Amino acid sequence: MGIDYMTGQGFEPAHKPGPLGRFHLRELINCGGMSEIWLATDAEQKHYALRLLRSKSRFDLTTRRRFHRGCEVLSRIHNHEFVIGYFEHGKIEGSLYLLMEYVEGANLKQLLANWDPVLQEWVGNILIDMSIALEHVHDSGFMHLDFKPENVLVSRNGSVRLVDFDLAQPRSEKPRKMARNPGTPAYMAPEQLMRQPLDHRADLFSFGAAAYEVLTGTKPFPGDTPDEVLQRQLDRHGFVPPRDHNPDIPPGLEKVILKCLEREPDKRYAIASLLVHDLQNILYLE
């Protein structure tokens, strides 16, 4: 089984199995609106995950810039056990590509949909490793800005890899307004949804939303539109504390999640390292 990087349903691949430059495309791992990811081998039969920008996006300058930025960011931060491995990026037979580590497993969204035994066995470790990955991104001078279950890969032995840095931005010393506002509303912080200045603490909100969903099977602020999600975040109408969904959640862990989900950035963790520290004290498992 390959990696489910994104849902990618309803898209026809732009490439077919067979030779592509010095690689051989073996199996389509996933296909989305922007790119497709293949299990590929080289002349030495080494396995890779090869991400290719879909051909219809070649003249979409915004998409190309995001793809290239994601490659550049990953090339600078990949040397970490909980971030997907990077080998190279460039252009091959007219297509922009990113060559990455191949990991057998699935993303958290898929694991949640099936309540996979891997998730049941390793959930504590997964939460800690997710926070450490985010800490590394921030310490490396970036904000992920698209932190969600789909972008967290989990191998069969519970090993985590954070992926997809296309929306990442340099971390600034003080909150700043972004020119654009892409992302996934269900995991975006209120300041993101309101297009207000933001900093790395927006990622900590996203972590809280993802952790809430991992532990309860539901999103903390469901909504069909960004406005609905934002309204639930602001007025907290109908908000259900995690332990009301799942009484097995330790009270200390619930407190951590609620701190991440605070409306005001100043009430969240100041830095990811403090989040990691609290999670390790509450959940550390060998």
* Domain layout of the chain by residue ranges: 18-100, 106-283
Domain pair 18-100 / 106-283, same fold? no
What pLDDT is stored for residue 225 in this prediction? 94
Q: Is 240 left (phi over 0), alpha (psi -120 to 50) or beta?
A: beta
Give the pLDDT of residue 57.
53
- 3-state DSSP assignment of residue 69: helix
| Candidate list 4, 146, 164, 203, residue with the active-site label | 146
The whole-number pLDDT of residue 79 equals 93
Identify the pLDDT of residue 59. 65
Helices marked H in 194-271 — which ranges?
A: 201-216, 226-235, 242-245, 251-260
Residues 6+ apart with CB under 8 A from 6: 30, 32, 107, 150, 164
Report the alpha-carbon angle 202-203-205, nearest 5. 65
Residue 24 CB-half CA count within 13 A: 9
Return the DSSP state at 38.
E
Length of the chain: 286
Contacts of 57 (CB under 8 A, 6+ apart): 34, 35, 63, 64, 67
> 235 catalytic, yes or no?
no
Q: What is the model's pLDDT at position 11?
A: 61
Walk along the chain (286 residues) and give the pLDDT tens digit of each residue. Answer: 333 334 434 567 777 899 999 999 999 988 776 889 999 999 999 999 999 998 655 567 888 899 999 999 999 999 999 999 999 999 999 889 999 999 999 999 999 998 888 898 899 999 999 999 999 999 999 999 999 999 999 998 899 999 999 999 999 889 999 877 778 999 999 999 999 999 999 999 999 999 999 999 999 999 999 999 999 999 988 899 999 999 999 999 999 999 999 999 999 999 999 999 999 999 975 4
Tell me if 70 sits within 8 A of 168, measured CB to CB: yes
> HSE of 229 in the Cβ direction (CA atoms, 13 Å)?
22
pLDDT number for residue 286: 43
Contact 100, 84 (CB under 8 A): yes
The pLDDT of residue 31 is: 79
| 205: helix, strand or coil | helix
Task: Note whether 197 and 191 are within 8 A (CB).
Answer: yes
106-283 has CATH 1.10.510.10 classification: yes
Model-level pTM? 0.91
DSSP reduced 3-state for 191: helix
The superfamily (CATH) of domain 18-100 is Phosphorylase Kinase; domain 1 (3.30.200.20)
